[in-house]
């Protein structure tokens, strides 16, 4: 169908949806807007489906949610016991999240697949845990994570609790995009309940066990019980689903002094106190910092709406609040886990740590110090989840910790995605360990730099929205493949890894890379640094990552990183 044929079909289809039909009528005389909404369909892949809310094939709306749910239901019916085991569904505080979750559940029911729908908003890690805990065949979370309020999305989890891998995503996608919208209708709620095809999941069924599991991941519970009473924390859930579980986990661990930012405590789909509900952004802590100063807190936590990411603010030696990067939090947690286990004699001989290829190489140095093997994965926590599954199936390694520079952390195996509750409790324990030594988290980070070297990371995101932006991203990646850079800021490019071709090229020598195909280019630089270019899997962005290292000081590492970033930015312009 042409763009205008699609538009006219949606005018008819959306007649019973006041919000959507109103949008469509408003753009009747705006051909550019019509094209943007209908030139393509929202894709479904290993990161699920995500987009701006609104009417159109290229928007998140009730019709796309129903069709994706129908395709997912048809897929799981082809798996042994799939329909009976069912799908567990959770949602966060975003616009339309509860409505989309309910529609998904009723479409599953209409296609004969049991739906287990949480009775209120839940974090991503709780749903990942519930897939395994309730033995469902799959899971769904309605969320757009840390994106601005105009977005929503649909994440799908496989029976291992990790986001679906490439093969399953492709299988679901084939079924979804072969379905007419008219064939994806939901069942009436009362009929679904009467037929036993819909069941609501309350807090006693999953949440209590989940919290006990998170508490069991503490390295030294006695330490946190002893020092936790002296640790003062300010916490902001950024209007999201972390409010109850994060506070509960901290309280049950023995940390009594947790003050929540009142303006950001309750769900708010507009996220009206922040530009974007993203704990990666220092501005997310604007309200938390004066509150921390008022109550005398030494650390601030923030989780995003679906509580899979954790941001941390700490006081430096001059009393200035510093927002830690995802790499810094990852290294603090990694060092805490490994050093604590070594001290207590619980560090296994086959221990393993996983990180994404765009996360800091400081982790490699820390793992080497403790005799732990480090595994690199592609970006996307599902690949860390796959590694955990491989370790369990083969018995080759004991998973200890995984992280991504984009503020995602995990120290257990019962959840197979980023876990902001687990990370909050773990960084609180790390803060208690520092208190026991008479230092702060900030001072611990400086210790790590002195011991392992000064690692600096830069990330540049270029937003390229719409049809033209997608074409520009493809053209840029094609150009970089055809004419790869030879140097950046005086650092030679020693080798190029092309994860789409699955090869690493150093001079005339080519070796195969054992990773799934992914549109990523990685440049190894002289001096131990690197840079990486990849299109985002969830947003209309292309990302440039730069990592540099210095033995001398953070200033020299930072200056070099800025120079490499500027050179690469010019090449990409």
- The set of catalytic residues is 145
Closest listed residue to residue 83, CA positions, set 205, 200, 196: 196
Alpha helix positions (H), 463-543: 466-482
Structure tokens at 287: 């309200």
Q: What is the DSSP letter of 473?
A: H
How far is the CA of 29 from the CAs of 14, 34, 121, in angstroms?
A: 18, 9, 39
Are 366 and 318 a contacting pair, CB within 8 Å? Answer: no
Edge-first strand order for the sheet with 310-315 is 257-260, 232-236, 299-303, 310-315, 321-323
Closest listed residue to residue 302, CA positions, set 340, 258, 360: 258
| Dist CA 525 CA 494 (whole Å) | 6
The position carrying tokens 């990552």 is: 545
| Dist CA 35 CA 58 (whole Å) | 9
Alpha helix positions (H), 177-242: 189-194, 203-216, 221-227
Closest listed residue to residue 337, CA positions, set 401, 381, 384, 387: 401
| Dist CA 113 CA 82 (whole Å) | 7
Structure tokens at 229: 């009473």
Handedness of CA 49, 266, 279, 402 (dihedral sign): negative
């Amino acid at each position: 169908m042409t763009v205008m044929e699609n538009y006219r079909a949606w005018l008819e289809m959306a007649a019973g949806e006041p919000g959507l039909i109103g949008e469509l009528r408003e753009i009747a005389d705006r051909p550019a807007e019509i094209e943007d909404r209908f030139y393509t369909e929202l894709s479904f892949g290993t990161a699920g489906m995500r987009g701006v809310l609104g009417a159109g094939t290229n928007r998140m709306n009730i019709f796309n949610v129903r069709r994706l749910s129908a395709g997912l239901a048809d897929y799981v019916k082809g798996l042994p016991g799939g329909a009976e085991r069912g799908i567990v569904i959770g949602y966060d505080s975003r616009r339309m999240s509860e409505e989309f979750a309910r529609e998904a559940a009723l479409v599953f029911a209409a296609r004969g697949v049991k739906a287990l729908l949480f009775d209120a908003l839940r974090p991503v890690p709780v749903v990942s845990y519930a897939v395994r805990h309730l033995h469902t065949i799959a899971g769904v979370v309605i969320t757009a994570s840390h994106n601005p309020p105009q977005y929503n999305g649909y994440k799908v989890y496989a029976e291992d609790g990790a986001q679906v891998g490439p093969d399953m995503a492709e299988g679901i996608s084939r079924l979804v995009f072969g379905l007419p919208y008219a064939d994806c209708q939901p069942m009436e709620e009362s009929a679904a309940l009467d037929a036993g095809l819909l069941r609501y999941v309350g807090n006693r069924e999953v949440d209590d066990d989940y919290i006990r599991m998170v508490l069991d991941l503490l390295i030294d519970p006695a330490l946190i019980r002893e020092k936790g009473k002296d640790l003062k924390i300010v916490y902001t859930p950024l209007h999201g689903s972390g409010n109850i579980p994060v506070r509960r986990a901290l309280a049950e661990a023995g940390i009594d002094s947790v003050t929540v930012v009142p303006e950001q405590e309750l769900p708010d789909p507009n996220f009206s106190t922040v530009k974007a509900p993203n704990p990666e952004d220092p501005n997310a802590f604007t309200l938390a910092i004066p509150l921390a100063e008022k109550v005398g807190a030494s650390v601030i936590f923030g989780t995003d709406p679906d509580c899979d990411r954790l941001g941390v603010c700490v006081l430096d030696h001059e009393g200035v609040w510093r927002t830690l990067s995802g790499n810094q939090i990852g290294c603090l947690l990694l060092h805490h886990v490994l050093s604590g286990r070594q001290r207590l004699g619980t560090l296994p001989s086959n221990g393993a740590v996983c990180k994404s290829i765009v996360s800091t190489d400081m982790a490699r140095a820390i793992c080497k110090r403790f005799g732990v093997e480090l595994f690199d994965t592609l970006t996307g926590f599902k690949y860390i989840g796959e590694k955990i599954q491989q370790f369990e199936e083969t018995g080759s390694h004991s998973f200890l910790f995984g992280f991504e520079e984009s503020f995602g952390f995990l120290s257990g195996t019962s959840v197979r995605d980023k876990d902001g509750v687990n990370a909050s409790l773990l960084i609180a324990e790390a803060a208690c360990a520092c208190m026991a030594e008479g230092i702060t988290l900030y001072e611990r980070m400086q210790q790590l730099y002195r011991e392992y070297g000064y690692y600096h990371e830069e990330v540049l995101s270029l937003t390229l929205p719409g049809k033209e932006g997608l074409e520009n991203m493809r053209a840029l990646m094609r150009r970089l493949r055809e004419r790869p850079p030879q140097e950046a800021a005086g650092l030679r490019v020693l080798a190029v890894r092309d994860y789409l071709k699955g090869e690493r090229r150093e001079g005339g020598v080519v070796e195969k890379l054992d990773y799934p195909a992914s549109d990523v280019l990685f440049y190894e630089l002289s001096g131990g640094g690197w840079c990486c270019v990849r299109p985002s899997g969830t947003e209309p962005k292309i990302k440039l990552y730069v990592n540099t290292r210095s033995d001398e000081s953070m200033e020299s590492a930072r200056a070099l990183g800025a120079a490499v970033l500027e050179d690469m930015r010019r090449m990409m312009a």
